[in-house]
Amino acid sequence: MNQNHAENLEPELKDKLYQSIFSRKSIRKYKAESLTAEKLKEIKAFLAARKGLKQNIKWESKIVSADKISSLLPIKAPHYLVFFSEESEGYLQNAGYILQYLDLYLSAHGLGSCWFGLAKAKKEIAAESEFSYVITLAFGEAAEKQCRNDKSEFKRKELSEIRDHDSYEQLIEAARLAPSATNNQPWYFKVRPNKIDIYREKPNFIKKIFYQKMNKIDIGIAAAHLKLAAEKHNLNSKFSFSDSPSKELSDYIYQFTLNILD
């Protein structure tokens, strides 16, 4: 199955989202005040317009306050975006992809956000959706430095650890900077002519319970960065989910391919 995935963003907004890749950070301290109704409306409209990695997967989201969320390690924020999805093939990657556009959107608009994998939507909220709870994004006005000054402030693996070839470096560089659960960075990119194969690290036995789910979300997040970078560099591209990978890798599981069309 091939899908076009053009997110139909205004060039100026697309540019802002792309720039945010190089400055965004997780915000864990927030001002207590709610955002204005107008701002929340804009955020909802932006999210509602997302097509996602796999457009056939149904999903929905809700913005709730702290009393609707439970977590052992809380992040106190004025708002939480809880995401629900149909559990079809690739739904976790799809959730990561969609919500990473929102993470970048919030950062680009001077707001703070943090992926919140340890959170759970309380029963009364989960019961309102016909879909399964996936993950939460905390957001609001930052009460700490809202973004990074430059790339040197990112703690990430080196490019050489996550790719096998130096083609499409600007795309893989954008993916390299993506956020991931506990900064695990479970991605690997194999490049072949006009294709980037995306792989996910096999979690070890201990990591399996938590990471199995988070790793897949992380891959969708990295794919969002890859796609935005392709668009920024005027490369027409499409994800495909039924390709055979160029090679099986012992420590990684093949996920999908970004095809560069011109």
Ligand X SMILES: Cc1cc2nc3c(=O)[nH]c(=O)nc-3n(C[C@H](O)[C@H](O)[C@H](O)COP(=O)(O)O)c2cc1C
- Residue of 162, 181, 223, 230 that binds ligand X (CB under 6 A): 181
Q: Considering only residues 201-240, where is the footprint of ligand X by CB under 6 A?
A: 214, 217-218, 221
Left if phi > 0, otherwise alpha if psi is -120 to 50, otherwise beta: which for 178?
Answer: beta
Nearer to ligand X, 37 or 72 (CB): 72
Closest by CA to 197, choosing from 234, 233, 165, 236, is 165
Stretch that binds ligand X, among 14-22, 113-121, 233-241, 245-253 (CB under 6 A): 113-121
- 75 near ligand X, rule: CB under 6 A: yes
User: Are residues 20 and 108 in contact, defined by beta-carbon separation less than 8 angstroms?
Assistant: yes
User: Residue 214 contacts by C-beta under 8 Å, 6 or more apart in sequence?
Assistant: 117, 180, 181, 182, 184
Nearer to ligand X, 117 or 245 (CB): 117
Give the phi and the psi of residue 176 in degrees, each rounded to 5: -55, -35
CB of 46 to ligand X, least distance (A): 19
User: Residue 212 contacts by C-beta under 8 Å, 6 or more apart in sequence?
Assistant: 203
- 117 near ligand X, rule: CB under 6 A: yes
- 28 near ligand X, rule: CB under 6 A: yes
Nearer to ligand X, 3 or 146 (CB): 146
- 84 near ligand X, rule: CB under 6 A: no
- 70 near ligand X, rule: CB under 6 A: no
- 114 near ligand X, rule: CB under 6 A: yes
**Four-CA torsion 146, 149, 152, 156, nearest 10 degrees:** 20
- 99 near ligand X, rule: CB under 6 A: no
Stretch that binds ligand X, among 20-28, 188-196, 200-208, 223-231 (CB under 6 A): 20-28
- 81 near ligand X, rule: CB under 6 A: no
Stretch that binds ligand X, among 5-13, 55-63, 178-186, 193-201 (CB under 6 A): 178-186
Nearer to ligand X, 75 or 106 (CB): 75
Q: To which H or E segment does residue 197 belong? A: strand 195-201
Task: Calculate ∠ Cα 163-57-217, nearest 5°.
Answer: 35
Query: CA-CA distance, 196 to 261, in Å (whole number)?
Result: 12
- 254 near ligand X, rule: CB under 6 A: no
Query: CA-CA distance, 17 to 20, in Å (whole number)?
Result: 5
Residues that bind ligand X (CB under 6 A): 25-26, 28, 75, 114-118, 179-183, 214, 217-218, 221
